[in-house]
Structures are given as structure tokens and as C-alpha cells.
Structure 1
């Protein structure tokens, strides 16, 4: 790739990046995106300071990736998605910042079938670069389940309540809510034939549970199309972490603090 750029990448996974952009704009208004030789990273809190976003896309997973200088760029996520949503599944996506034009992100969308190239210049923002330190944590439960199932449960329960209880006891996973119009309980597991449900790590001697804001979890489920399965990381009195695979580019982890249930 041309050395006229401080950094640049090209990927054929345009639909993955578009889905990612659609999800992140619901959580973050503005965000700093870091680029270095290892890849692309976002580590940011939402406006309520209850949701943590940790995105890591590995340089080796792009069709082309060049980083001549580590950079941090400020982006308005709504404006970024307005450009990304013009992509189709067959497009190739290019991002870069030119050495002689560092105030703009260059986005190129190639459609090789029609021999069309769209080029955008997105103005960058000067945002405070807040260093977020994530302490290491040992989770008591790690559970893999179909992302579509998790999406449906969260959406259905959001019609009833603002809060969901997620509980792991042995080889059972419970989702519960209690609203003005109804109560709902959904139980997953309990059989060796469970399709898509896997308890990677579980505690046989204690119950792992927490109460969480359904509005945030429904926003998270906009990431559903990124991957077929998600991983839940659970620990009592600790944020729940939901891990998505971003196509084959990397991972997205979303953490939400538990609600204090009165």
C-alpha cells in the first residue's frame, strides 16, 4: 500500500464493518479509534458511564494493513455510520489518513462488479484521550449461546420490563423479568442435546446472577449479525461481559454494570 498514508487498511468484510458501525453508534456518540501496528482498537465508556466498549481488530486479518505511525483519531459515530450504510455486501472498504491531510479520515468504497469507487473525507474530532484501565478478572461462569436467541429474549422481555435478571445455576441459564403487565422466565439448558448452548466454565456450588438494564442489552443485540454465537462472562457483583466475534477481523466486548435491585 502507498506510504502517503500514516495508516490505512482494506477489507472485503464491508457488511461486518457496517453492522459494527450501526451497533456502536447506539452506544457511543463520539469515540477515539486507535491504530497501531497490531491493529485497530476502541476502548470507551458510554455517556452514562455504565457501559464499556472494547473493540480489537487484528492487523493480520485485513486484506491490507499499513501503519507507519501509531495514531488516535476522534470520530462522530453517527456521521461515520451515515457513510458506512451506503456499502453493499460485495463492496471493498478502505480507510486511511494521509500524511499531508491529517484532519480527515479518507473512506473509499469500491464496487468491483460495477467498477464504481466512492471516496469520502470525514472530518476528525479533537477528543480527550481518556486512558481506561481494565483490571484482570476471574469470571465464575462463561457461557456460549446463539446470538439470535439472546437477541429474542432481550427484545421480548423489554416489552415487559426495564430490567432483566440473568442467572446461572449449574447447567441452567435463567432469564427473568417482572413488569407491570406480566412476569416472564426463560430457561435454557439442562440437556446434553442443547443446541448452541455450552457452559465453558460454571460453578457447581454457587449461583451466579445479576440484574441489568434491558435498554442497554437491546442496544447490544444490534451486534447479533456479527456472529452466530456470543459468550457471556458472569461474576456476582461484577459487570456482565458479552463477547462478539467481528466476522474474522477480531472481537468486540461489551460490559454493563449490574443494577442495584431494591
Structure 2
């Protein structure tokens, strides 16, 4: 705290509050506080005291969210940064959410990190943090995967504060990222009863998309009672991968589960699916949901009922 006073010969001040009616962490509730100032002792001047009124600048943290491991947010940003450049992180008492479309309006990403994913988590009011994802990725690269990550934002913020705390040493890093004003429409995603739902290893889905992209720009996903078939046809040839529902008790991470109410066959851009697969490191399994004439849902389940979802519009007519 700084005080203006006329006795400039006193260089050291000891401040004792007279009116301490406010909690020390609640500076936003008042702007003036009365203090009694005790100048430093000196032989020339005996101890005197007088009263000064100090004006405090409000500085109140409305968001504080602590992740036990920074790698969660690092992987989420890595998975979506090539689809979306700028987006709002919408924070409320339920957690931190994100929803944005790519520039072509072909794909939509929806993320929800529930408040239970953080410890502690506090959000005193709804707040939107507009962030450039490339800038965010650069800062997150300064954190080790095992670092403890804490996000903080003040009321009406122009920056978001990020603190990286090493779990096994005394290293503490602190960064501020400038925020942006992003006018972003929040789309209501309707609940859909999908005709086909496939649960499969995320590594297997990533491998299929990577292999088929060498042959074509598009992939046909056909789901029948025989299984799910990923097929493509390109200039150099064609290819197909078929998976059947199976359960392995000893290796449950390799299970493939297919729930089908009616056959489905749709064609999608492999470029987008390959991008979605960057989220494979977040979850061992991935869920694909399909219905005719409805966007494909690709969902990666995270801990504490959190999730990262991608929606992709199917190709139609001449696009296929």
C-alpha cells in the first residue's frame, strides 16, 4: 500500500488499520480504508502518529481452477487448435466449457471439463475467456505434463493467469495470456437417438483413419449387423477395414461394441477425422455415433464425466 504524506523525512512507515471491518480478501467490497501511520524512529524526531486515508484498487479473483496434471489441458488444446483458432472458454460453477466451429462450418468441437476435474475449483460468476489457441499452446508448452496447473482470472479480466507448479521440486512458473473479445454464437446441440453407436479403441480408430488417408480424401462408414466397415476409393486404389463386435476379458481396452437399430452408411472427410484423432491420447476408447443425414459424433470420455466431442457433417452428392 502506498500513502501520500507531508513528512517526507520519514522513509519507513508502519501501517496499522483503524477500520478493519472488511475481510482482507474482499478488497472489491470497498475502496477506502483508514490507516494510522507510525513513522520510523529517529533521534531528531520523536515517534508521532497521524491518520491517512488510503484508496485501494479493487483486484478480485472470480475464477480459480487447479488441475493436478497440466497434460489434460495440453492434450485438449493440441487436439483442437488446428480446427479452431480463437474461442471462448465459458466458465461457471459447473466447470469450464468450450464450443466452436471451424471456419468452413463443417466441424464443431464441444468440450466440458466438469468442476470435479479440478481441485479446488471456484467460479464466483459466469465468465467468458476469449483466447487464441496458438498463444495458449505456446504457453502450455512451458509446462511439464506432470506439473500442477492453476488458472486464475479477475473480475472483468484482460488477461488469464496460469501458474505451473512442479510436483517434485520448488519450481514455480507464472504466465499471463492476453484475452480477446470474441463474438461467438453458442449453438444448441439437440439430443439425438443415433441409429448406430460404436465403442472402439481410440488407437484403432486413429490407425484406420491414418491408413486410409493415404488412398483417398474421403471415407465411407457403413454400419450393419455384420459390423462396421471403413472404406475408401481413390486414384491409386481402394481399401477397407471391417471391425466386428467382440469382447476380450483379458484385454478390455481392445473391445469393440456395436449397438445398431438400423443400418447406416455415410461418407466423411478424412482430413477432419485425422484431426479428431489427435485427441486419442486423452482416452483409451472412442465412441462413434451415426444416423443418416445427421452429423457424426466422435466422443472421447474424460475423467469425472468430462468429455471432448467432435461433430462432423457428412458429405453429400458430388462431395463424396
TM tier, shorter chain?
A: over 0.9
Q: How does 1:135-174 map to 2 (within 5 A)?
A: 135-174=190-229
Structure 1 unaligned spans of 5+ = none
Structure 2 unaligned spans of 5+ = 1-24, 27-59
How far residue 190 of structure 1 moved from its aligned partner, in angstroms, is 5.3
Q: Write 1 or 2 for the structure with the bigger share of strand.
A: 1
Deviations 1:76-109 (A, max 9, x none): 011101111222222000111023x710010111
CA distance in 2, matches of 1:86, 1:248: 26
Report the equivalent of 2:39: none
Q: Which has the larger radius of gyration?
A: 2
Report the equivalent of 1:7: 63
CA distance in 2, matches of 1:210, 1:36: 37
Identify which range, 229-238 or 4-13, moves more after superposition. Answer: 4-13
How far residue 253 of structure 1 moved from its aligned partner, in angstroms, is 0.9
Report the equivalent of 1:126: 181
Where relative contact order (Cα < 8 A, 6+ residues apart) is larger, the structure is 1
Alpha-carbon distance change, 192 to 62 in structure 1, aligned in 2, over 3 angstroms: closer
SS at match of 1:102: coil
Deviations 1:216-247 (A, max 9, x none): 00000000000000111110111000010234
Alpha-carbon distance change, 111 to 190 in structure 1, aligned in 2, over 3 angstroms: closer
SS at match of 1:26: coil
Alpha-carbon distance change, 96 to 191 in structure 1, aligned in 2, over 3 angstroms: closer
How far residue 260 of structure 1 moved from its aligned partner, in angstroms, is 1.2
Alpha-carbon distance change, 190 to 115 in structure 1, aligned in 2, over 3 angstroms: closer
Matched, 1:68 2:115: no
Q: How does 1:205-216 map to 2 (within 5 A)?
A: 206-216=262-272
CA distance in 1, matches of 2:122, 2:89: 15
Matched, 1:239 2:295: yes
CA distance in 1, matches of 2:290, 2:116: 30
Alpha-carbon distance change, 229 to 191 in structure 1, aligned in 2, over 3 angstroms: closer
Matched, 1:77 2:136: no
The answer as to whether partners of 1:92 and 1:111 remain within 8 angstroms in 2 is yes
* TM-score of the two chains, using structure 1 as the length reference: 0.93
Number of equivalent positions:
257
SS at match of 1:165: strand
CA distance in 2, matches of 1:148, 1:41: 25
